[in-house]
């Protein structure tokens, strides 16, 4: 059976009693319904697009608590407030920004016509692609499902969404709510397991968006290529974080802890490992422990600190740490509540407390350890010492290009040097994660961390066909280039050569 699961695969049988798996005939019928609708109504007016976006906003406004409860049920321990800031807030800012700028984005873009084609005029017409497929992951199951869908709808497309089988409660709620707010030929949700995801990826979409791991992204790209379907792939990877020699360590540690521990590290752009100047390791470790205690005074039973999504994922992280320790790494778990009484809130917040993994620092890692070969996707932060900034840059460039890069320091020259000599999907300086929240910045990967971007106008254009249009003038002089060729043609070409 093909591994069409997001990130690192599901626990066996996850969600079977909640999600209704569709048959291949159901899925093909839905796709054909959307394809026919997209071909019948090629141009989608501004008012129709705006009304669809307003329906998404209404869906969120009226059903936020229900959706947050579904996410909580899937994770076992994930505060609705975390879902509010990490899922709903991001979607609301995206909707607001898109609604504000949509009319301008839709307008044909006039382009200057070169002298040899004048007096013709030309413009680029931004048209919907047709049917956009979205395969979304489990870690931010609402944001990463509806975010690409919002942008695709804004571009005038029909959307089919395949959410993760690892969040069956959320996927079922999305399917129910989308069906209440949209006709099947506008926007629909396909539920099912890994086999359904494989079938979904093989449909001849006009564009396919996938968010997940690099190995699965390769499979999606291969499936899409059979239909020449263009793809947008957001694939994560090992995003580095560099601490420069001149740095406010307390401030940096707090921001790194927030970026690493949001959603218990289950974030595609979380700092995956830290590069720190040799001799400042203890200083960072102490500052990081203090930051963890400030953000999460307790771990077990704390609703602000998410569970690892499944026992299988939790076991994978533990195995990774055990292997690193066996190979000589120093593993330092951080328990802010050590020696303090723990308030038992498990009964009201779900069964995920057993999967709330302690934040952990790991020193002395080497490149042959699993922890440095795979995206961690958990609250574990390897710390690597470097002598010179050149060494840190060389370490980053020796691996696949990451989805994000973080730099902390006060020297603009050092910062600019790092930015010039490294390639990553995006960068935040003196903070973590924040570049993803900027609606005017394209968000996406490069190389093994993916390709394509779908935020703001860049995302709108990703889901458009930019059709070139030249309108010839009645006074056109194109006949000068027609045969039969002779002395007049030679004179014209001579003049053009001198002009060009």
239, 249, 318: which is closest to 277 by C-alpha?
A: 249
Is 283 in the active site?
no
228, 193, 189: which is closest to 3 by C-alpha?
A: 193
402, 142, 380, 384: which is closest to 261 by C-alpha?
A: 380
Q: Say which residue the tokens 């458009």 belong to.
A: 464
CA distance 14 to 310: 9
The helix/strand/coil state of 243 is strand
- Cα angle 8, 85, 66 (rounded to 5 degrees) comes to 80
Q: Say which residue the tokens 């010492």 belong to.
A: 385
Asked if 316 and 355 touch (Cβ cutoff 8 Å), the reply is: no
Beta strand pairing call for 121-128 and 464-471 = antiparallel
Asked if 433 and 406 touch (Cβ cutoff 8 Å), the reply is: no
Helix (H), strand (E), coil (C) string for 427-457: EEECCCCHHHHCCCCCCECCHHHEECECCHH
Asked if 378 and 318 touch (Cβ cutoff 8 Å), the reply is: no
If you ran DSSP here, which 8-state letter would residue 1 be given? -
Q: Say which residue the tokens 């979607």 belong to.
A: 91
Asked if 111 and 72 touch (Cβ cutoff 8 Å), the reply is: no
97, 150, 160, 102: which is closest to 130 by C-alpha?
A: 160
Q: Which of 165, 234, 281, 375 is catalytic?
A: 234
Sorted by sequence, the CB contacts under 8 Å of residue 237 that are 6+ apart come out as 214, 272, 375, 400, 401, 402, 403, 445, 448, 449
Is 234 in the active site?
yes
Q: Which of 165, 268, 281, 464 is catalytic?
A: 268
Asked if 241 and 418 touch (Cβ cutoff 8 Å), the reply is: no
Asked if 213 and 429 touch (Cβ cutoff 8 Å), the reply is: no
Q: H or E element: which one contains 61? A: helix 46-75
- Residues marked as catalytic: 234, 268
């Amino acid at each position: 059976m093909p591994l069409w699961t997001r990130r690192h695969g599901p626990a066996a049988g996850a969600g079977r009693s909640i999600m209704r798996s569709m048959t291949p005939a159901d899925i093909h019928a839905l796709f054909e319904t959307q394809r026919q609708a997209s071909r019948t109504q090629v141009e989608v007016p501004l008012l129709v697009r705006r009304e669809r976006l307003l329906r998404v906003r209404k869906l969120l406004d009226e059903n936020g608590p229900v959706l947050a409860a579904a996410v909580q049920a899937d994770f076992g321990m994930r505060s609705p407030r975390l879902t509010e800031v990490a899922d709903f807030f991001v979607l609301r800012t995206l909707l607001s920004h898109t609604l504000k700028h949509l009319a301008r984005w839709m307008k044909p873009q006039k382009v200057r016509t070169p002298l040899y084609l004048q007096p013709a005029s030309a413009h680029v017409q931004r048209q919907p692609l047709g049917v956009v497929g979205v395969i979304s992951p489990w870690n931010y199951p609402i944001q990463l499902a509806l975010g690409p869908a919002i942008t695709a709808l804004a571009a005038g497309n029909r959307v089919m969404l395949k959410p993760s089988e690892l969040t069956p409660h959320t996927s079922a709620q999305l399917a129910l709510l989308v069906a209440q707010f949209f006709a099947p030929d506008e926007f629909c949700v396909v539920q099912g397991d890994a086999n359904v995801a494989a079938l979904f990826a093989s449909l001849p979409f006009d564009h396919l968006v996938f968010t997940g791991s690099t190995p699965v992204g390769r499979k999606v790209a291969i499936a899409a290529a059979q239909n020449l379907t263009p793809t947008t792939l957001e694939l994560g990877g090992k995003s580095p974080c560099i601490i420069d020699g001149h740095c406010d360590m307390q401030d940096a540690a707090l921001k790194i802890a927030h970026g690493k521990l949001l959603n218990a590290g289950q974030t595609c752009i979380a700092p995956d490992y830290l590069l720190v100047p040799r001799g400042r390791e203890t200083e960072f470790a102490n500052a990081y422990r203090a930051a963890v205690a400030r953000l999460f005074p307790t771990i077990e039973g704390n609703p602000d600190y998410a569970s690892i999504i499944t026992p299988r994922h939790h076991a994978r992280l533990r195995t990774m740490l055990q292997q690193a320790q066996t190979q000589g790494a120093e593993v330092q778990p951080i328990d802010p509540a050590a020696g303090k009484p723990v308030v038992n809130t498990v009964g009201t917040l779900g069964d995920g407390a057993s999967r709330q993994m302690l934040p952990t620092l790991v020193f002395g890692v080497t490149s042959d350890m699993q922890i440095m070969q795979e995206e961690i996707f958990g609250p574990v932060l390897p710390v690597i010492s470097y002598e010179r900034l050149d060494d840190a840059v060389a370490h980053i460039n020796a691996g696949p290009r990451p989805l994000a890069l973080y730099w902390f320091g006060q020297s603009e020259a050092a910062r600019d040097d790092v930015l010039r000599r490294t390639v990553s999907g995006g960068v935040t300086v003196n903070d973590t994660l924040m570049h993803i929240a900027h609606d005017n910045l394209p968000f996406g990967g490069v190389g093994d961390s993916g390709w394509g971007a779908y935020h703001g106008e860049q995302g709108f254009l990703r889901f458009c066909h930019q059709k070139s249009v030249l309108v010839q003038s009645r006074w056109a002089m194109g006949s000068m280039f027609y045969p039969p060729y002779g002395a007049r043609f030679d004179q014209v070409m001579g003049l053009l050569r001198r002009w060009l």
